[in-house]
Amino acid sequence: MRVLVTGGAGFIGSHVVAALAARGHEPLVFDVREDPVADVRDPAAVGRALSGVDAVCHQAAMVGLGDGVADAPEYVSRNDLGTAVLVAAMAEAGVRRLVFAGSMVVYGEGRYECPRHGVVRPGPRAVTDLDAGRFEPVCPVGGEDLTPGLVGEDTPPDPRNVYAVTKLAQEHLAAVWARCTGGSAVSLRYHNVYGPGMPRDTPYAGVASFFRSALARGEAPRVFEDGRQRRDFLHVRDVASANVSALEATTPAGVLTAYNTGSGEPHTVGEMARALAAAYGGPEPVVTGEYRLGDVRHITADSSRLRAELGWRPQVGFPEGMREFARTGLRGD
């Protein structure tokens, strides 16, 4: 296949390009990092790039939590306007296959079970609780302690920050495109992606990048809250292979299919910081008790649908991935 990879020069996109080429496909990079006019928000540029293309792998996005709503216009422009321009151009060009970078953030908080009230969905955490160091959500019915679990794709979305809202809007745009054109759209809802080539020292870098940058400066990684937040850390090469699997699979036409894309092995943020520091050679992480509004406490997903339907399996385990990440540099080093 001839595959246009938007954001193909970025962290995840560059690994997708390499994985596609290794499978014998012809990836075409569309990225402002390589060409200033290759802006996914430019209909003319996107239209030209789609000539002769069989499928699109859409990785171009502004990522990260952001800062309140101050950068909402930039997020909406890059993520939602960019996706709208892309799917409109695909409809015009007759390209009917789309795989794109979704995100686990569309769910908000993860799945929780109360011993008295069963599965519940807590609301956003209160500033007063966070200031007092009470980081765990409680049952919204009776205030009981909750047990976190795995989120399935059928869980209703509940985005808790601007970035999350834009990722959900991208899915809606892709779903409308699929219905209107009979095309096939797949959203891979990524977990916390890490690995070689992560960007460093930007407001939108992932937590693994922040920890790795601190270690490179000889500083202790600073772990927010109490370090017990549960996440699923997925190596970037496994994310790339998931994209290739989705592009090669026969997926339903006329609808959006969403797949949770995680390793299936939840770890806490504190565990990740300690593993990375140990692999790098110190210093030990420091748990600060600080927090960011809009962060969720626990979010880990059930990725069994992706394994069952597409036959994808992650290949890089957590210890191995942390050792490799400790040895490799970040983009911008």
Helix (H) / strand (E) containing 93: helix 82-93
The set of residues, in sequence order, having a beta carbon less than 8 Å from that of 60 and lying 6+ positions away, is 6, 7, 10, 13, 30, 31, 40, 78, 82
Distance separating alpha carbons of residues 317 and 204, to the nearest angstrom: 25
| Residue of 163, 190, 280, 291 marked active site | 163
DSSP conformation class of 329:
P
Confirm whether 163 is a catalytic residue: yes
Beta strands 230-231 and 267-268 are antiparallel
What would the two tokens of residue 174 be? 């892709």
The set of residues, in sequence order, having a beta carbon less than 8 Å from that of 329 and lying 6+ positions away, is 196
Tell which residue, 21, 5, 2, 1, has the closest CA to residue 13. Answer: 5
Which residues does the annotation mark as catalytic?
163
